Amino acid sequence: MAEAERIIGTPDTPDAAGDGQERPEDAAAGERADSEGTRPAGESGTGEPEPAAAPPRGKRRIAVLFAVASFAYALDLITKMIVVAKLEHHPPIEIIGDWLKFEAIRNAGAAFGFGEAFTVIFTMIAAAVIVVIARLARKLYSLPWALALGLLLGGALGNLTDRIFRAPGVFEGAVVDFIAPKHFAVFNLADSAIVCGGILIVLLSFKGLDPDGTVHKD
């Protein structure tokens, strides 16, 4: 009889055994939970660092804008330095016969030699364009617009540098031009960047694409 009561009073269910006491497996599970809950930020469950979040799309477009502008500006500046050092006061260099020559010209006017009497005004316009582009970059989310504005910014900076630092004086300096096609005005790479950027902006406007990436459909 005592043996039967002993058997009946010892249930097989795990909850009944050791009532109020923590089992070894429960303690181990709690330690695992605490360990996972207090895992350092930036680490995955496997102990490896989690990949960093990608930069916002707007910042990538701004980076493209300034990269294109820097490339256009540097290329224009380098070519002008070479032209002044090697070509100025020398005979023109024929590239494609009479159809294309390299000839150093000092231009006090706007792009392609227009408006030589308004050098200061063109300098102010170039400076205003740079300010407008810098302000517009804050809401730039379109890659084509980033390319267009980058070309425009690089070209404007290139010619503005000449206006400020070349003779005859500050804000009145003459721009160095050297690309001379037949029956056309002499120009430089900054002029080319400005024209290409302007054409691209016109095309994007016709397509209804805004700098913030919004598309307007008529």
Question: Catalytic: 34?
Answer: no
Among 12, 26, 191, 210, which one carries the catalytic annotation?
A: 191
∠107-111-117 over CA atoms, to 5°? Answer: 55
3-state helix, strand, coil in the chain (%, to 5): 55, 10, 35
| Closest to 106 measured CA to CA, from 94, 89, 91 | 89
Instruction: Find all residues with CB under 8 Å of 17, minimum gap 6, and list them.
Output: 11
Q: How many residues does the chain have?
A: 218
Backbone dihedral angles phi then psi of residue 6, each to the nearest 5 degrees: -65, -40
Q: Is 5 exposed, middle or buried (0-12, 13-18, 19+ CB in 10 A)?
A: exposed
Coil, strand or helix at 177? strand
Question: Catalytic: 177?
Answer: yes
CA-CA distance, 89 to 40, in Å (whole number)? Answer: 68
Among 12, 177, 210, 212, which one carries the catalytic annotation?
A: 177
CA 39 to chain centre: 36
Query: Which residues participate in catalysis according to the annotation?
Result: 177, 191
